[in-house]
Amino acid sequence: MNRPVTDTRLNFQLDEHGGLRHFLSIDGLDREMLVRIMDTAEPFAGVVADQPVKKLPLLRGKTIVNLFFENSTRTLTTFELAAKRLSADVLNVNIATSATAKGEKLLDTIRNIQAMHVDMFVIRHSESGAAEFIARHVEPHVSVINAGDGRHSHPTQAMLDAFTIRKHKPAFERLRIAIVGDILHSRVARSQILAFNTLGVKEIRVIGPRTLLPVDAESLGVRVYHSMDDGLQDVDVIVMLRLQKERMRGAMLPSELEYFNCFGLTRERLRFARQDVMVMHPGPINRGVEIESGVADGKPSVILQQVSYGIAIRMAIMTMAMHSKSRHQGEA
Give the Cα separation of 114 and 236 in Å (integer).
45
Domains of the chain: residue spans and CATH? 8-153+308-331 (3.40.50.1370), 156-301 (3.40.50.1370)
Has this prediction a pTM greater than 0.85? yes
Task: With CA atoms as reference, report the closest residue to 228 among 256, 263, 254.
Answer: 263
The predicted structure's pLDDT at residue 96: 58
Supply the DSSP symbol for 253.
-
- Angle 173-179-182 (CA atoms, 0-180°, nearest 5)? 155
Listed in sequence order, the DSSP H helices in the chain are 31-50, 73-85, 103-114, 130-135, 155-168, 187-198, 228-231, 256-263, 267-270, 293-296, 303-331
Largest CA distance in the chain: 61
The backbone region for 150, taken as left when phi is positive above 0, alpha when psi lies in -120 to 50, beta otherwise, is left
Residues 6+ apart with CB under 8 A from 121: 64, 65, 67, 110, 113, 134, 138, 142, 143, 144, 145
User: Each residue's pLDDT tens digit in the chain (332 positions)?
Assistant: 334 444 444 578 999 889 999 999 999 999 999 999 999 999 999 887 677 777 899 999 999 999 998 888 889 999 999 999 999 999 998 775 544 455 568 888 899 999 999 999 999 998 899 999 999 999 999 999 999 998 899 999 999 999 999 999 999 999 999 999 999 989 999 999 999 999 999 999 999 999 999 999 999 999 999 999 999 999 999 999 988 755 444 445 668 889 999 999 999 999 999 999 999 999 889 999 999 999 999 999 999 999 999 999 999 999 999 986 554 455 44
Task: With CA atoms as reference, report the closest residue to 122 among 167, 154, 163.
Answer: 154
